[in-house]
Homo-oligomer: A and B are copies of this chain.
Amino acid sequence: MHAMTALSSMKALVYHGPGKKAWEAHAKPVVIDPTDAIVRITKTTICGTDLHILKGDLASCKPGRILGHEGVGVIDSVGPAVTAFKAGDAVLISCVSACGKCEYCRRGMFSHCTTGGWILGNTIDGTQAEFVRTPHADTSLYPIPEGADEEALVMLSDILPTGFECGVLNGKVQPGATVAIVGSGPVGLAALLTAQFYSPGEIIMIDLDENRLEVAGRFGATKTINSSDGKAVEVLMQLTDNRGVDTAIEAVGVPATFELCQQIVAPGGVIANVGVHGVKVDLHLETLWDRNISITTRLVDTVSTPMLLKVFKARKIDPKLLITHRFKLADILDAYETFGNAAKTKALKVILEA
């Protein structure tokens, strides 16, 4: 009996309302639906979205919820309808759960799966725990290639597919093209790393933080612009012979950066929005109506995960560049402290090891 009790309990990072969280004991998850898997977390991380939840910005995430939607682990058990995985398999957990059956999943829009989407660490318990229940396991987990670096793979749960799908694919980055990425935080840097799959001619990184721009330079940005003097548009136009950019990737999520994108996009170009916006923005149709531009929005679908795994396997990308700090999972409160003070700690992504 005691052993049983011990087995069915675990530790987890639980959200207790705005500003409150605790690393505490919690019931270990069990299979609910036949397509569920229970995964023992070996490595996880913290996302900027988790900080938003802790600020109380996300009404869908209720107190009592275990946070986290990224990570790798080992299958502990599977429901009777899971056919692609079995206990003991090492797996990558996608931040988006996809049934693979509904109208949206069939169109590759896993983000809008009618029984999934981004639910982990949001409307159901997440990955910042010793165990997690992952719904739709067959279509939401990925086998970890033998010998793969698991730390690197944690970057494939969310940050890399987000930068790639919302920024690079939506932005239609092409060989030789001119790209600007507004925001050199983790997701902007993920866009920077994955934009290079398509050999653009210029990738101009724009941010207020000199350290992050320096990082961008090391990650492959061909030019950087510190926008703190309010002259980013002017400088960018000079750099591009007054043409503007073919692709402007918005990776911040505030009106000012979206405004900037509208000022630098060239006729025929794309503004690919990646940032999470809390308020409306001005759209200058009075100047853009005849400029033949596109503006795209997207919640990551993680449909590119198989492609990203191949590119990773072929060593065309080094996801570990994004990792700046490492903690034990039990020290997750320290990790939040470090990640939450990125300007000071220069944190990008932190790894939590169970």
Which residues of B have CB within 8 Å of A83? Answer: 99, 101
- Does A148 belong to the interface (CB within 8 Å)? no
Query: Please, how many angstroms separate the alpha-carbon atoms of A222 and B310 in the complex?
Result: 14
Return the 3 tightest CB-CB contacts between A and B, nearest first. A176-B310, A81-B81, A201-B314
The smallest beta-carbon distance between A78 and chain B, in angstroms, is 12
- Does A226 belong to the interface (CB within 8 Å)? no
- Does A263 belong to the interface (CB within 8 Å)? no
Query: Which one of B34, B80, B299 lies within 8 Å of A290 (CB-CB)?
Result: B299
Is there contact, CB below 8 Å, between A267 and B104?
yes
The smallest beta-carbon distance between A280 and chain B, in angstroms, is 5
- Does A2 belong to the interface (CB within 8 Å)? no
The smallest beta-carbon distance between A188 and chain B, in angstroms, is 15
Which residues of B have CB within 8 Å of A268? Answer: 104, 107, 109, 112
Which residues of B have CB within 8 Å of A80? Answer: 34, 80-81
Is there contact, CB below 8 Å, between B286 and A297?
no
**Contacts A101-B84, A198-B198; is A297 near B290 (CB within 8 Å)?**
yes
The smallest beta-carbon distance between A168 and chain B, in angstroms, is 10
Q: Which residue of B lies closest to A201 (CB)?
A: B314
- Does A296 belong to the interface (CB within 8 Å)? yes
Q: Which of A277, A283, A291 has the largest count of B CB atoms less than 10 A from its CB?
A: A283
- Does A298 belong to the interface (CB within 8 Å)? yes
Query: Please, how many angstroms separate the alpha-carbon atoms of A176 and B310 in the complex?
Result: 5
**Contacts A34-B80, A101-B138, A289-B275; is A175 near B297 (CB within 8 Å)?**
no
Q: Which of A103, A106, A200, A202 has the largest count of B CB atoms less than 10 A from its CB?
A: A106
**Contacts A268-B104, A316-B201; is A288 near B297 (CB within 8 Å)?**
yes
Is there contact, CB below 8 Å, between B297 and A139?
no
Measured as residues with beta carbon below 8 angstroms from the partner, the interface class of chain A is 35 or more
Is there contact, CB below 8 Å, between B282 and A222?
no
When each residue 185-204 of chain A gets 1 if its CB lies under 8 Å from chain B and 0 otherwise, what string results?
A: 00000000000111111100
Query: Which one of B201, B277, B295 lies within 8 Å of A295 (CB-CB)?
Result: B295
- Does A307 belong to the interface (CB within 8 Å)? yes
**CB within 8 Å of B: which of A297-321?**
297-299, 301, 303, 306-311, 313-314, 316
Which residues of B have CB within 8 Å of A283? Answer: 258, 280-283, 295
User: Besides A109-B268, A199-B199, A277-B289, 7 other CB < 8 A contacts?
Assistant: A101-B139, A112-B267, A176-B310, A176-B314, A177-B310, A280-B282, A289-B299
Is there contact, CB below 8 Å, between A313 and B201?
yes
Query: Which one of B202, B253, B277, B316 lies within 8 Å of A199 (CB-CB)?
Result: B316
The contact sample of 15 A-B pairs, CB cut-off 8 A, is: A35-B81, A80-B80, A83-B101, A100-B101, A104-B267, A112-B292, A175-B198, A176-B307, A176-B309, A176-B316, A273-B285, A277-B285, A281-B282, A281-B285, A290-B298
**Contacts A81-B34, A281-B283; is A297 near B307 (CB within 8 Å)?**
no
- Does A284 belong to the interface (CB within 8 Å)? yes
When each residue 110-151 of chain A gets 1 if its CB lies under 8 Å from chain B and 0 otherwise, what string results?
A: 011000000000000000000000000011000000000000
Is there contact, CB below 8 Å, between A285 and B311?
no
